[in-house]
Amino acid sequence: MLIRNAAAIMTGLPGAAARVAGPDLRFNSQIEEIGRLAPRSGERVVDATDCVVYPGWVNTHHHLAQSVLKGVPQGINLPLLSWLESVPYRYRARFDAGLLELAAEIGMTELMLSGCTTLADHHYVYWKGIDYDPAKILFDLAARFGLRFVLCRGGATLRRPFEKADAPEPETLDSIVQDVERLVSEYHDGGSESMRRVVLAPPTPNFSMRPEELKPMARAARRLGIRLHTHLSETADYVVFCREKFGRKPVEFVADHDWLGEDVWFAHMVHTTESEIRMMAETGTGTAHCPASNCRLGSGIAPAPELARAGAPVSLGVDGSASNEAGDSLSEAHTCWYTHRALKGAGAITVEDVIHWGTRGGARVLGIDNIGSLEVGRAADIAVYNLAEPRYAGLHDPAIGPVASGGSPKLRLLTVQGRVVVENGVIPGLDLPRLLARAREAVRKLGAFHAGD
């Protein structure tokens, strides 16, 4: 396939390499050429006039199950801990196989229509004796959509303090590890262009697990050759708890338990000190920066530019839609660009920085080496945005439009490994009106449950 006459091509690389002149790009399963190219006989040609070309977004932290919990009134104005009690944990036991599949289908649809090609979902809706297999639902759905999918398999051995006595019983460390071993044998591919990966990912290291369980969990992951992921330092309360309970800063605490390294990344990292930033950089530990959720919950703004300047891997995570209300990659990128400039000034961050974090930075954090940038030889995960809409009219630099102008430019094309998964704003085979009707019915039922609780 040949993409021709693009207004701009953003590579996902940092610095001077962030843009390439093009205006054409040829690919099969991998990118073959970028430049001024003539069509070959029999080649499909896509006219990209008024379009800009980006790498597919790499979303390193999501909660697909929350896609049916957007804007729950009882939690809309609450900070993190109260919101957790009022929304995700209140509804957790309501999730059966059908509701999870619906929520995941909504979430994947929303992400793909924004140009996301790789998704790491932190799924922690597990409990002892769960009677369905969330992993199979999620992997099967991602395969149907053609998405690269990383299952961050959650699981807790402790109840949160606010959970009721009749809440689902937590799992044991052994049962979590045994299930992860099964998932690795069934799904995990450690290759450089992997479509399926498994990660060991408790919700938090100091609320969800006993301290003595963290090292065995880390050893199990490394024995299996998989990565580790969790939430860390999301709120000021989190830092206070860690200091009072363990006498350590959060990054120091996880370091004590072998949870730092190039095979580890944390979501949020909002409240992080200079010494912790140095520890992250020195060990190559990654961050999934989730600015929209952090703003919505009033948690603060993570020092992502400082982490990046120190050399620590930084990526973008959309986070769950129950704390975001817009679970798509472009909204996240637009919010990211705005928040850091509001905090530190107009020179704090560039559009190129945001694109790099959200594409090649995400590939680095996930360890999927051959994705995340538009370079010859990389996997053909490509987003082509059509800017022929009033929102983008008058742009002197079309390349920055999808991030700087925000909105929802229609996808002329989205490919994963060269396979077309969105074309002209449509996901082939998806009955969108039916999906939206099912979502409305699910919200009605969940609302009735909350009203009667």
Q: What confidence score (pLDDT) does residue 337 get?
A: 98
Rounded distance, CA 352 to CA 32, Å? 23
Helix boundaries (H) for 172-317: 173-187, 211-224, 236-246, 250-256, 274-283, 291-296, 304-310
Residue whose C-alpha is closest to residue 148's, from 58, 244, 253:
58
Q: Output the furthest CA–CA distance in the chain (Å, rounded).
A: 69
Is residue 206 predicted with pLDDT exceeding 80?
yes
* Spatial contact of 289 and 332, defined as CB atoms under 8 Å apart: no
Rounded distance, CA 189 to CA 199, Å? 11
Q: Give the angle subtended at the CA of 162 by the CAs of 157 and 167, to the nearest 5°.
A: 60
Contacts of 429 (CB under 8 A, 6+ apart): none
Is residue 62 predicted with pLDDT exceeding 90?
yes
Q: What confidence score (pLDDT) does residue 163 get?
A: 86
pLDDT tier, 450 (very low <50, low <70, confident <90, very high otherwise): low
Mean pLDDT, range 26-53, rounded to an integer: 97
pLDDT tens-digit map of 264-295: 999 999 999 999 999 999 999 999 999 999 99
pLDDT tier, 261 (very low <50, low <70, confident <90, very high otherwise): very high
pLDDT tier, 452 (very low <50, low <70, confident <90, very high otherwise): low
Residue whose C-alpha is closest to residue 192's, from 54, 29, 27:
29
* Spatial contact of 329 and 316, defined as CB atoms under 8 Å apart: yes
CA 225 to chain centre: 21
Contacts of 136 (CB under 8 A, 6+ apart): none
Is residue 215 predicted with pLDDT exceeding 60?
yes
Q: What confidence score (pLDDT) does residue 451 get?
A: 57
Is residue 313 predicted with pLDDT exceeding 60?
yes
User: 52 has which bridge partners?
Assistant: 8, 385
How crowded is the C-beta side of 320, counted as CA atoms within 13 Å? 25
pLDDT tens-digit map of 74-125: 999 999 999 999 999 999 989 999 999 999 999 999 999 999 999 999 999 9
Q: Which two tokens stand for residue 242?
A: 């860690």
pLDDT tens-digit map of 322-361: 999 999 999 999 999 999 999 999 999 999 999 999 999 9
Q: Report the b/e string of 120-134 with b at 16+ CB within 10 A.
A: bbbbbbbbeeeeeeb
Question: What does R_g of the chain's alpha carbons equal in angstroms?
Answer: 21
Is residue 166 predicted with pLDDT exceeding 90?
no
Residue of 164 and 212 predicted with greater confidence: 212
Average pLDDT, the chain: 96
Q: What confidence score (pLDDT) does residue 99 get?
A: 97
* Spatial contact of 288 and 315, defined as CB atoms under 8 Å apart: yes
Q: What confidence score (pLDDT) does residue 176 get?
A: 98
Superfamily of domain 57-366: Metal-dependent hydrolases (3.20.20.140)
Mean pLDDT, range 33-55, rounded to an integer: 97
Ranges of each domain in the chain: 2-55+379-423, 57-366
Three-state secondary structure call for residue 370: coil
Tell me the residue length of the chain: 453
Residue 85 identity (one-letter amino acid): E
* Spatial contact of 227 and 315, defined as CB atoms under 8 Å apart: no
Q: What confidence score (pLDDT) does residue 443 get?
A: 96
Q: Which two tokens stand for residue 30?
A: 């991998």
Name the class of domain 2-55+379-423: mainly beta
Q: What confidence score (pLDDT) does residue 408 get?
A: 92
